Chains A and B, each alone.
Chain A
Amino acid sequence: MRSKPVQLAIAVVLLVGVGVLVAVFTLALALLGEPGDNVTVLTVGKIVIALFALLTLITTLGISLVWLERKQLGRMQGRVGPTRVGPFGLLQVVADGIKLLMKEDVSPGSSSKAIFYVAPLLVFVPSFVVWLTIPLSEDLVVRSLDLGVFFFIAVSVLSIVGLILAGWSSNSKYAILGGFRSAAQLVSYEIPLILGVLSVVMVADSMRFTDVVAAQATVPYIALLPLAFAVFFISGLAEVGRTPFDIYFAESEVVGGPFVEYSGAHWAIFFLAEYVNTFVVAALGALLFLGGWVWPFGEVGQVPAVAVFLGKTYFLAVVIFWVRATLPRLRIDQLMNVGWRLLIPLGFASVILIAVQRFYGWPTWTLTVMSLAALVLAAWVQLRLQRRDAVATAQRYAQRAVTVQPSRRRPTPESQQA
């Protein structure tokens, strides 16, 4: 083990590195120019540099989540997680990445090679492209689109194609099962996700992320729309395949699903995409529901704004990993039931509640009350009733247990003497 000061020094260097990345990202944004600019070799060069900066930043953020998850799961399970590589195991993920890149890249003999090798990119590219509209702060955004939210949803759906193609081209039964599962799951959960986001859009009256955030300066939307947040967060978990919806790469059933035949760098790309997607969902939750960088400090400088936003994002990521440490996995039909019979009606309920409130011009606190009531009712019906039955069964078993009394008494010293 290295000494404490050395460890701290490395940690500082890493932190500074991330800071430099953000700075380069900011610089790259300035380089990007506007869509109407003349295309010259120079602008193309600038754009390439900007994209590289963006890619590096996102990769770093994704990697940081891997570390966070391993550490957090370790702590929650009575372990310590990675400790050996770098201070607090911070460089463990980098070491793993290097290992993966150096591994032989095997593909099954009967796979469709072209699709097999393109599929990881089809998964990764959408999760990268959505970052074009996701702002890190008021100014720190590649393109602040009017239809930013719409763009996000339209692009993020595309990763399904990559997953199905990965499952299909592997020519493996586990992979194809996983591919089908991912198709069913992602398509179904896209709808409640959109309904959750739509609720926010209805209240904020804008699809531009920066406007949505600015509208939350006083009250974050999670206080206003708890129902929409629950629908969004649960379907977000399903969208990125986190527990309890990690059905399409369920380790104990389909052994990694679409990724089962991948190895080396291509597997690493899938892995990275998964964590970048997790980060996207957490970031989106922070932007749409937790008030991004404005709440609760209002307008602050560039650096604190990014810090506040990232803090909220990491908080949501911690919640996602916490769920992972706690819950088992649902079955595919139960997943469909939750999606179609619970989340979609709830999503519509949320949208309708907002529509009614907007139409009649009721005060906003009625929104909180109504959506909280709907949420509590749904949760109670879905969870408690089921649990109560099991608890009653358990109590019955406790009574039914056959008691065995000692059939013969152990000879005590007194009885032996007598």
Chain B
Amino acid sequence: MTTEQAYDTVDMMLNMGPQHPATHGVFRMVLTVDGERVVDVTPHIGYLHRGSEKLAENESYGQVVTLFDRLDYVSNLNNELIFCRAAERLMGIEPPERGQYIRVILAELNRLASHLLFIGTYAIDLGAMTPIMYGFRERERIQNMFESVTGARMMHNFIRIGGVKEDVPSDFVPRVRALLDDVERGVQECDRLLTFNEVFLARTRGVGVIDLPTALSCGLTGPSLRASGLAYDVRKDYPYEVYPYLSYKVPVGENGDCWDRYYMRVLECYESLSMIRQCLDQMEEGPVMAQMRRIARPPKGEVYVHGENPRGDIGVFLVSDGTDKPYRVKVRPPSFCNLVSLRPMMRDAYIADAVAILGSLDIVLGEVDR
């Protein structure tokens, strides 16, 4: 054994999570590090597994919505929407137009809330203290609006198969308009504080780069995919609800680094604001719930429906055997699929980058583990 071999260094295994402030819940990354460099990363999931898909087989269709609330607990309404759309497709019913507008308004508000939370937590991951307070302040306003509409701050169970539970309060439109103005200011505040901050740029530009072919082969969707340069948005490519009535922009990046993934979400906040405003302009009085039997009993068959979640392309594969309970519910969770691209992104990263990269994917563990 030569001297060199005798003093050879070995890589260190660094266990990050499930109890770690930067893993956004109970995610566990086992990093193999050489000094400060990350050599390899092994993600471990399943700490929040509740068997939602199996549970759904024992609940009636209406009750499954509550399980979807608890998948991605920062974008509950988007999740409710996707399951209700799947069940409606199977039953061949379409909710009345006002119901669809209310759904889209709530879903986009929810997207705003989710992205605001992302901006805040991402700043925390990078060591900035303030944006999370701003983000949470605005998110709190949106949550208050949800509370007055649905009666709950998080687990709404408001979007039902065939429409929404009930009509919105009479002063809904002016209050949402005021809310949007406030939230727009809040988003601008976060944007100005963080986006072009030199330290923030140094930490995120050119970090965690993923090129488009790799991103596609990893199944990356949502803002993270658009950051790599493909304008794929389910709302644009497979329009649903009242999205075809709206005019909006789909922001596209080109570098596929952490900063792009962050900035796509900031731009999407502005687009969501404009979409909600259009919805408020177009919305008319009318019923909010389709005429249907009280107990949903879809005919035998199967359907796959997908939509745009704040985190990406969420899909539901629903099999019905003709009873009032689904035979099988399979979710394509965007967080889980986005997590696949963690390893290619971590190439040549530092430990601090590992945190920045994981944060830029904006995973929610409730959805990863289901």
Please report A residues at the B interface, Cβ cutoff 8 Å: 73, 76-79, 173-174, 177, 181, 243-244, 246-247, 250-255, 324-334, 382-383, 386-387, 389-391, 393-394, 396-398, 400-410
Contact = CB atoms under 8 A, between A and B. Distances in A.
A77 B130 contact: yes
A301 to B, nearest CB: 40
6 contacts: A325-B130, A330-B199, A400-B252, A402-B231, A404-B246, A404-B249
B228 to A, nearest CB: 13
B197 A332 contact: no
B312 interface: no
B134 interface: yes
B355 A253 contact: yes
A88 to B, nearest CB: 20
A401 B252 contact: yes
A328 B203 contact: yes
Q: Which 4 A-B pairs have the closest CB atoms?
A: A329-B127, A77-B133, A328-B126, A328-B128
Interface in B11-57: 12-15, 20-22, 36
Interface string B113-151: 000000000011111111001100100000000000000
Interface stretch (B60-68, B163-171, B326-334, B345-353): B345-353
A397 B252 contact: yes
A402 B236 contact: yes
A398 to B, nearest CB: 8
A48 B224 CA distance: 63
Given A327-B199, A386-B198, 12 more contacts: A181-B36, A326-B197, A328-B128, A330-B203, A382-B198, A390-B201, A397-B253, A401-B251, A402-B250, A404-B250, A406-B244, A406-B247
B73 interface: no
B202 A330 contact: yes
A328 B123 contact: yes
Interface of B: 12-15, 20-22, 36, 123-130, 133-134, 137, 193-203, 205, 231, 235-236, 239, 242, 244-255, 259-260, 263, 267, 282, 350-353, 355
A409 B250 CA distance: 20
Contacts of A173: 12-15
Nearest to B133: A77
B249 A402 contact: yes
A252 B203 CA distance: 14
A394 B195 contact: yes
A387 B196 contact: yes
A204 B203 CA distance: 39
Contacts of B205: 389-390
A329 B356 CA distance: 11
Contacts of B355: 252-253
Nearest to B195: A394
B186 to A, nearest CB: 10
Contacts of B259: 390
Contact of B134 (A78, A252, A333): A78
Nearest to A73: B129
Given A177-B351, A252-B355, A408-B245, A329 B199 contact: yes
Contacts of A76: 130
A106 B24 CA distance: 27
B236 A252 contact: no
A322 to B, nearest CB: 10
Nearest to B356: A331
B198 A383 contact: yes
B202 A252 contact: no
A401 B260 CA distance: 13
A255 B20 contact: yes
A330 B350 CA distance: 12
B202 A386 contact: yes
B36 A328 contact: no
Contacts of B235: 404
Nearest to A173: B14
A328 B200 contact: yes
A387 B247 CA distance: 31
A25 B134 CA distance: 43
Contact of B127 (A244, A387, A404): A244
Nearest to A184: B36
B245 A410 contact: yes
Contacts of A327: 127-128, 197, 199
A181 B351 CA distance: 12
Given A78-B134, A173-B14, A325 B352 contact: no
B267 A326 contact: no
Contact of A401 (B20, B239, B250): B250
Contacts of A251: 21, 127
Nearest to B21: A252
B248 A331 contact: no
A255 B199 contact: no
A397 B267 contact: yes
B244 A408 contact: yes
B129 A407 contact: no
B44 to A, nearest CB: 17
B135 to A, nearest CB: 11
A223 B80 CA distance: 62
B199 A387 contact: no
A405 B252 contact: no
Given A329-B127, A401-B250, A402-B231, A253 B352 contact: yes
A406 B245 contact: yes
Nearest to B15: A173
A326 B193 contact: yes
Nearest to B101: A410
A331 B200 CA distance: 10
Contact of B254 (A250, A391, A400, A410): A400
B118 to A, nearest CB: 15
Contact of A331 (B129, B244, B260, B352): B352
B34 to A, nearest CB: 12
A252 B22 contact: yes
B236 to A, nearest CB: 5
